[in-house]
Amino acid sequence: MVNPGAHRGILVAVDGSPSSDLAVRWAAEEAATRNVVLTVAHVVAPLVGGWGGVGMAPTTPRIEFGEWQKVAAANIVNHAVDTAKSAAARSSELQINTEVVFAPLVPTLVDLTKEAQMAVVGCRGQGAFSRALTGSVSTALVHHAHSPVAVIHDEIPLPRSHAPVLVGIDGSPASELATAIAFDEASWRGVDLVALYAWSDSDWPDFPGVERSVIAATAEETLAERLAGWHDRYPDVTVQREVVFAHPARHLIERSGSAQLVVVGSHGRGGFAGMLLGSVSSAVMHAAHTPVIVARQR
């Protein structure tokens, strides 16, 4: 896990939505498994143009709005803490810290990730379009966070305790970080790791005069080289190697249905640190059938 000394441990952003509850459950189990602190964070954004939020009463006098915000925030955080304790009931030692911050939402959460091992967020938050689009907060975090970000999809029944961890590999530096996280997750969970290596991001590569069997053999050899050092570090993890030659996002999304977790890099072999989320990572984050960790680092 990146930055093991981060004092916020597993940081989960909560807003009181059903998607947020699922994120809390996943984060609590992750923190309990690793014996690290769970930080429940709720950010109260400044009011801009009218009323909104969960359970807000439009008839509340505006002079009492600040006090109402404090009560609403406390209710959301207390509910999240209860949810976390229930999810991690088998771990009586789980330490849960809470943070309520009155500040702009996304910049504040991004700043909090500087001292977190991992940030966890639901794929949909509160809002009129939450049923149709991946939440703006989760999207912003996977673009800008200073730690890996786990996006928890609310269509997925949790947990899948015996299913493998799936990692997408393409040889990029971000892919190497994803590989490190995936091995670590598989080891902690005691499950197999499926390493899916994509030779090309688009169509099958066409090299005149070169047989496809030669390309396939080269791809297999490349994947073996990418995994060689990790076998030594994690001898307890059984690895299943898979090679695809085109459209890695499609293959990762299809395989995610039989995995308990998918890990991808924040940008691929053509990307660079700080750029917008890579097309493969973005597609997987939006459409995978299981929680997704996007490998980001400070």
- On whether residue 271 sits in a domain, the answer given is yes
- Mark which of 94, 125, 152 sits at the end of a domain: 152
- On whether residue 2 sits in a domain, the answer given is no
Overall average pLDDT of the 251-273 stretch: 79
Q: How many CB atoms lie within 10 A of CB 170?
A: 24
User: CB of 188 within 8 A of CB of 180?
Assistant: no
- On whether residue 251 sits in a domain, the answer given is yes
- On whether residue 115 sits in a domain, the answer given is yes
pLDDT band at 93 (very low <50, low <70, confident <90, very high): confident
Whether 222 and 278 map to the same domain: the answer is yes
Whether 66 and 99 map to the same domain: the answer is yes
**Which pLDDT tens digit goes with each residue over 176-211?**
899 999 999 999 999 999 999 887 655 555 555 556
Overall average pLDDT of the 279-287 stretch: 86
**Which pLDDT tens digit goes with each residue over 42-79?**
999 876 544 444 445 555 555 477 788 899 999 999 99
Res 264: pLDDT: 94
Q: Kindly report the backbone phi and psi dihedral angles of residue 262, in degrees, each rounded to the nearest multiple of 5, phi listed first.
A: -120, 135
The closest of 163, 172, 161, 149 to 11, measured between CA atoms, is 149
Whether 288 and 169 map to the same domain: the answer is yes
Q: What's the rounded Cα separation, in Å, for the pair 223 and 136?
A: 35
Binning the chain into helix, strand and coil, the percentages to the nearest 5 are: 40, 20, 40
Res 98: pLDDT: 97
Res 53: pLDDT: 46
Helix (H) or strand (E) holding 88: none
Q: From residue 297, how far is each of 116, 151, 214 by CA, in Å?
A: 10, 16, 36
Whether 129 and 35 map to the same domain: the answer is yes
Whether 25 and 144 map to the same domain: the answer is yes
Whether 271 and 227 map to the same domain: the answer is yes
CATH number at residue 219: 3.40.50.12370
- Whether the per-residue pLDDT at 4 is higher than 60: the answer is no
pLDDT band at 297 (very low <50, low <70, confident <90, very high): confident
- On whether residue 159 sits in a domain, the answer given is no
Q: Which residue has the higher pLDDT, 257 or 61?
A: 257
- Mark which of 126, 152, 178 sits at the end of a domain: 152
Res 272: pLDDT: 38
Out of 56-65, 79-88, 161-170, pick the least confident: 56-65
Domain span at 96? 10-152
Overall average pLDDT of the 91-106 stretch: 91
Q: What's the rounded Cα separation, in Å, for the pair 124 and 105?
A: 15
pTM listed for this prediction? 0.85
pLDDT band at 280 (very low <50, low <70, confident <90, very high): confident
Whether 192 and 287 map to the same domain: the answer is yes
- Mark which of 128, 152, 176 sits at the end of a domain: 152
Whether 268 and 175 map to the same domain: the answer is yes
Q: Which residue has the higher pLDDT, 22 or 268?
A: 22
Res 298: pLDDT: 65
- Whether the per-residue pLDDT at 274 is higher than 50: the answer is no
- On whether residue 158 sits in a domain, the answer given is no
Can you read off the two tokens belonging to residue 210? 């070169």
The closest of 35, 79, 37, 36 to 55, measured between CA atoms, is 79
Q: Kindly report the backbone phi and psi dihedral angles of residue 10, in degrees, each rounded to the nearest multiple of 5, phi listed first.
A: -90, 115
User: CB of 111 within 8 A of CB of 8?
Assistant: no
- On whether residue 5 sits in a domain, the answer given is no
- Whether the per-residue pLDDT at 83 is higher than 70: the answer is yes
- On whether residue 3 sits in a domain, the answer given is no
Q: Which residue has the higher pLDDT, 185 or 218?
A: 185
Summary mean pLDDT of the chain: 82
Whether 232 and 111 map to the same domain: the answer is no
Whether 238 and 290 map to the same domain: the answer is yes
pLDDT band at 273 (very low <50, low <70, confident <90, very high): very low
Whether 193 and 233 map to the same domain: the answer is yes
Whether 210 and 82 map to the same domain: the answer is no
Q: Provide the number of structural domains found in the chain.
A: 2
Highest mean pLDDT among 72-81, 191-200, 248-257, 279-288: 72-81
User: CB of 80 within 8 A of CB of 20?
Assistant: yes
